[in-house]
């Protein structure tokens, strides 16, 4: 039997809520160390003497925006664990799965923008010129395609 999308029901496996929560929290745990490492580098670079010498004041402010975006991504990705621990550590609901999934997806937006801003700033230090703007824009497009477009493409 097929559903509205034309896919056969046997093509999909419905997992219990507890397993869905386990998968979701593992996905959060997989992404978090990378984000935290990036955040750490963002904080440390400010104390490097070259930071103020190689970046203009507006570029330093742009770095602060990237730091804020990555901090927002961290808060969003850690929110499901905090929510689950406080609201129902002994239970998993469909509402929790939807909320946690939305928070994980929402964290990817500021993460993508923050990564691209930092890429632009590092690129500007290494190769100042208009080409780095194109490269940063291309990186952003690639991230959007891989993170948001490809997962939504339906294949029957």
Model confidence at 5: pLDDT above 60 = no
- At residue 59 the predicted structure's pLDDT band, cuts being 50, 70 and 90, is very high
At 10-47, the pLDDT tens digits run 566 787 777 887 888 888 788 888 898 888 888 898 89
- The CA-atom distances, in angstroms, between 138 and each of 4, 24, 133, 148 are 35, 29, 8, 15
């Amino acid at each position: 039997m097929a559903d509205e999308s034309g896919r056969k029901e046997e093509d999909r496996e419905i997992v219990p809520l507890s397993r869905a929560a386990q998968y979701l929290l593992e996905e959060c745990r997989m992404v978090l160390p990378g984000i935290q490492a990036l955040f750490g580098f963002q904080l440390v670079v400010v104390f490097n003497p070259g930071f103020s010498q190689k970046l203009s004041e507006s570029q330093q402010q742009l770095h602060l925006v990237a730091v804020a975006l990555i901090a927002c991504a961290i808060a969003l990705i850690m929110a499901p664990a905090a929510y689950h621990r406080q609201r129902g550590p002994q239970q998993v609901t469909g509402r929790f799965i939807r909320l946690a999934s939305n928070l994980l997806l929402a964290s990817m937006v500021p993460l993508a923008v923050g990564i691209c801003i930092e890429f632009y700033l590092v690129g500007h230090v290494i190769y100042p010129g208009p080409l780095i703007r194109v490269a940063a824009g291309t990186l952003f497009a690639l991230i959007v395609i891989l993170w948001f477009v490809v997962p939504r493409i339906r294949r029957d």
